[in-house]
A and B are shown apart, each in its own frame.
Chain A
Amino acid sequence: MHKIVRKEQLNKEICLVEFEAQDLASVCAPGQFVVLRIDEQGERFPLTLYDWDTKKGTATVVCQAVGVSTKKLCALNKGDAILDVAGPLGHATNTKNIGKVICIGGGVGTAEAYPIAKGMGKNGNDVTVIIGARSKDIVICEKEIREFCNKVYITTDDGTYGQKGFVTDVLKGLLEKDAPDLVFAIGPAIMMKKVAEMTKEKNIKTLVSLNSIMIDGTGMCGGCRVISGGKVKFACVDGPEFDAHQVDFDDLVQRGKRYNKKEKEALKRYNKTCRIGLDEGNTK
């Protein structure tokens, strides 16, 4: 059991959860993830580590409530506990001796780009961050990123904040000015695909972090397989970081959809049971 010591709602759908995890907190590195299980009926699902505090013995994840599991996590509060946390998993990102780097975070991916950008900044690299969101009220982690980075660009689809458009619009301009040594993109598959297409033309090394559906996170199930360089790889043990120019994004998108129908069914049931709980609460 991992007691939650901090819970913050970052926007309507996305929350931050800091929980006790003494042994885990002392070994985390940027780019790694944990596999969580909220309760006895729960799924195992991966979340990228957002932050960790060795002294306090805590780890933090940022989670967007989209399916049953993520909704369950976001419904927990300070003082509640997460049943299982396993990690840190996956290879850590190399944050040293890179030079000029552009980190791109789209949506909840901004929180996943945060520890990588921060780690790279800390190690003396020249870091630029591009944050992409649909609208102003759902931009996350801006303040935290500005704490270590003074080159922050924001784009919103509807133009309510920062530049109107997509992260690739900003990226295009930046690439024209001065090519970086590395582009790191984390966000929706389609965003990562577009970034990869743009940087491939200019032959700029680009990494993406893939958040596939997985169970154990240690290579045993093979559910997280992705295609990189024409070969099948496991996101959990071979990744989660991959060369963006090698990844088959269409395969990634397709495989990401394999439980959509079931998820809808589960969500319907979850919302219904939640509603029952709420209604009961109201009558008391």
Chain B
Amino acid sequence: MREQNPKERIKNFKEVPYGYTKEEAIAEAARCLQCKTSPCVKGCPVEINIPKFILAIKEERFKDAIKIIKETNNLPAVCGRVCPQEDQCEKVCVLAKAGKPINIGSLERFAADWGMKNKNFEGKKNISANNNAARVAVIGSGPAGLTCASDLARKGCKVTIFEALHKPGGVLTYGIPEFRLPKDIVLDEVLSIAESGVEMKYNYIIGKIKTIEGLRKEGYKAFFIASGAGLPHFMNIPGENLNGVYSANEFLTRVNLMKAYKFPEYDTPINVGKKVAVVGAGNVAMDSARSALRLGAEKVYVVYRRTEQEMPARIDEIHHTQEEGIEFHLLTSPIKIIGNSDGDVKKIVCLKNKLGKPDPSGRRRPVRIDGSEFEMEMDTVIIAIGNGPNPVLLETVDGLKLNRRGNIEADEKTCKTSLKDVFAGGDIVTGAATVIAAMGAGKNAARSIDNFLQR
């Protein structure tokens, strides 16, 4: 797909890939073999009827294409952009064997963007829950919560989403940067869910302003906890409280949710400096590194303890990051951050690793090499090594079983928890995962909540 030139794009926050033109989309769709077995559908966590929508694009029936996608996916413009297709639908595409799978993600994006530009294609939505419908509380308006709420609304439930922040979307809004996922697209898809009869409450922190128990008394019959990733992990190395050390959560929230890249037009500041190190190699790390570059950093490094093979980020993102001139320090672990007399970051001290035996995740474990210490001058260090559970809600729900990592223990298929009216899914159950996995959980939850309410 055509993209903004790396030299240009590092100076702006505009989206990197341009998206297919009509002609390009039709040509790509025409490559699809329309296989009877359609392995791609099984590769999709929300089971989009992929061959059917691709056929619609090929035949220039774009309205049908987006309708087919929306039967199972409420956030297609988002998924087309941020799903790790190479590990899902495209991985199992028959053409992948020959090295060139159908670019399903880009086709999904094309159909979704067409739908957005041609708003009236759906006609008026007439979904309204009757007054006797069961009330369901969804906690969190990220991908899991939105999907669950939307599916339940379609099934006739009266759904309220409680969002802790002032804007909807969860990680889509505060986490993923504009250049990868434009915020007006997120808002558009979220609003279309709200229009389907879901009530949205912002700045509403369940566990603080109200508890699950309080909501039960107000008449809510079922709960879906999709509160997302929680407290950012730090490395517990000396110097982590120095000024200039950010969690990726803070760095990205300042940039995306609070629009610090438009400071001082927007009030929220951010300090980037000239040299930035991002620790970690997931999507969040790539997003942080690329944001830092766009905020004016001269040199950005990704510091990762294993090799490129083990990086959890999407291939596209790793690729984009490298294209933009971000340098990768692989097999490298920071052990200390050193500050100046004002308490600002001055340099980081790292050790080199070699790969040892595989760990439980199947990835080879990094082993430190003694005496391999080296220093790098640095102004900012962004820690992107994941999150632990957030206690705010969890500590107020009696009887809710947590797993050993402190996340909610919930069944993968049914999202059931130890409490019969409480369901949970997304990052609060799995720890940091993908948007589409969270959406899959939202779908499963909606199904089991509906079953639960029918009983």
Contact = CB atoms under 8 A, between A and B. Distances in A.
A245 interface: no
A222 B241 contact: no
A266 B241 contact: no
A234 B243 contact: no
Interface stretch (B102-110, B260-268, B311-319): B260-268
A276 B405 CA distance: 55
Interface stretch (B36-44, B228-236, B428-436): B228-236
A42 B253 contact: no
A24 interface: yes
B209 A23 contact: yes
A219 interface: yes
Interface string A12-32: 000000000001100100000
Contact of A221 (B244, B250, B259, B269): B250
Interface string B199-243: 000111100111000000000000000000111101010001101
A266 B264 contact: yes
B392 interface: yes
Contact of A222 (B203, B232, B270): B232
Contacts of B247: 221-223
Nearest to A38: B267
Interface string A223-252: 101010000101001000000000000010
Interface residues of A, number: 42
Contact of A87 (B209, B241, B254, B263): B209
Contacts of B205: 86-87, 89, 218
Contacts of B259: 41
Contacts of B246: 223
A254 B243 contact: yes
Given A23-B210, A88-B208, A42 B241 contact: no
A86 B269 contact: no
Given A24-B209, A84-B203, A232-B234, A219 B250 contact: no
Contact of B203 (A86, A219, A269): A86
Contacts of A218: 164, 205, 390, 392
Nearest to A67: B267
A131 B135 CA distance: 50
Interface string A153-188: 000000000000000000000000000000000000
Contact of A234 (B202, B231, B267, B269): B231
A258 B243 contact: yes
Contact of B392 (A219, A221, A223, A259): A219
Contact of B231 (A41, A219, A262): A219
Contacts of A72: 267
B423 to A, nearest CB: 21
B17 interface: no
B241 A251 contact: yes
Contacts of B250: 215, 221-223
Contacts of A251: 241
Contacts of A274: none
Contacts of A234: 231
Interface string A195-235: 00000000000000000000110111111010100001010
A70 to B, nearest CB: 11
Given A23-B209, A44-B258, A87-B208, A220 B271 contact: no
B249 A237 contact: no
A219 B391 contact: yes
A100 interface: no
B404 interface: no
Nearest to A238: B391
Contacts of B342: 254, 257
A223 B342 CA distance: 18
A43 B266 CA distance: 8
A206 to B, nearest CB: 22
For the complex, would chain A's binding face be called helix, strand, loop or mixed by DSSP majority? mixed
A37 interface: yes
B6 interface: no
A173 B446 CA distance: 64
Contacts of A257: 243, 342-343
A266 B241 CA distance: 25
B231 A237 contact: yes
A52 to B, nearest CB: 12
A68 B241 contact: no
Of the listed residues B174, B267, B342, the one surrounded by the most CB atoms of chain A closer than 10 A to its CB is B267
A37 B266 CA distance: 12
Contacts of A265: 264
Contacts of A221: 232, 247, 249-250, 253
Contacts of B351: none
Contacts of A64: none
Nearest to A35: B203
B241 A225 contact: yes
A222 B250 CA distance: 7
Interface of A: 23-24, 27, 37, 41-44, 68-69, 72, 83-89, 215-216, 218-223, 225, 227, 232, 234, 237, 251, 254-255, 257-259, 262-263, 265-266, 269
5 contacts: A27-B209, A218-B392, A220-B249, A225-B241, A254-B243
Given A23-B210, A27-B208, A237-B390, 20 more contacts: A23-B204, A43-B258, A44-B268, A84-B166, A87-B208, A89-B208, A216-B253, A218-B205, A219-B392, A220-B231, A220-B232, A220-B253, A222-B250, A223-B246, A237-B231, A237-B391, A257-B342, A259-B269, A259-B271, A262-B271
Ranked 9 nearest A-B pairs via Cβ: A262-B269, A254-B343, A86-B203, A221-B250, A222-B247, A258-B243, A43-B267, A84-B166, A222-B232
Interface of B: 164-166, 174, 202-205, 208-210, 229-232, 234, 236, 240-241, 243-244, 246-247, 249-250, 253-254, 257-259, 263-271, 342-343, 390-392
